[in-house]
Amino acid sequence: MKYSVKFSDAIHILVYIEMLQGTDLSSEVIAKSVNANPVSVRRIMSSLKKADLITSQSGKANPKLSRDPENISFYDIYQAIDEEQQIFRVDEKTAPACIVGGNIQGVLAEKYDQLQRSVEAEMQQINLADIIHSVSQSANQSELNDEETKQILERFL
């Protein structure tokens, strides 16, 4: 089964942009934090920009959130990143002559639609500010904090 981490990476990028505003926010630097290729980071950032979640200027490594983190939900990010907008997919290659294979697709499609609606409703309840606060709390408990890190964290705790 193939899965994508673009949603996770998009959240990571948005949190990074917000928490480290005023530092080097180039795709190369962000890519190091995400542990990804800068080209992948630029593609995700392009999708976030098209969805009006970030703003940026050509030639300047200074992206910003286009709205407050409280007003960016997981659902907003998901819509910006996931092209297919479908969490669950029915296997369309079942045997139509089989009692199970010939009938399971419609049954699963109905249940998957129900799950999709439920997950999307839950995603609308989680916002970027929640994640930023949790990341800040987690980082604050780390023993690796230097003075610069402590100053950054003070804004979000």
pLDDT for residue 145: 74
Residues with Cβ within 8 Å of residue 25, at least 6 apart in sequence? 16, 17, 61, 62, 63
Q: For 105-150, what is each residue's pLDDT tens digit?
A: 999 999 999 999 999 999 999 999 999 999 999 988 887 678 888 8
d(CA 35, CA 121): 30
How high is the pLDDT of residue 58? 77
Specify which residues 73 forms β-bridges with: 127
pLDDT tens digits, 56-90: 887 778 899 999 999 999 999 999 997 777 888 89
Q: If pLDDT is split at 50, 70 and 90, which confidence band does 3 have?
A: low
Asked if 123 and 72 touch (Cβ cutoff 8 Å), the reply is: no
Q: What is the pLDDT of residues 14-51, one digit of tens each?
A: 999 999 998 999 999 999 999 999 999 999 999 999 99
Task: Give residue limits of the domains in the chain.
Answer: 6-84+128-154
Rg over CA atoms, the chain: 19
> Given a cut of 70, is residue 1 above it in pLDDT?
no
Cβ neighbors of 62 (< 8 A, separation 6 or more) are 25, 56
Written out in words, the top-level CATH class of the domain with range 6-84+128-154 is mainly alpha
Q: What is the pLDDT of residue 39?
A: 96
Per DSSP, 55 falls in state E
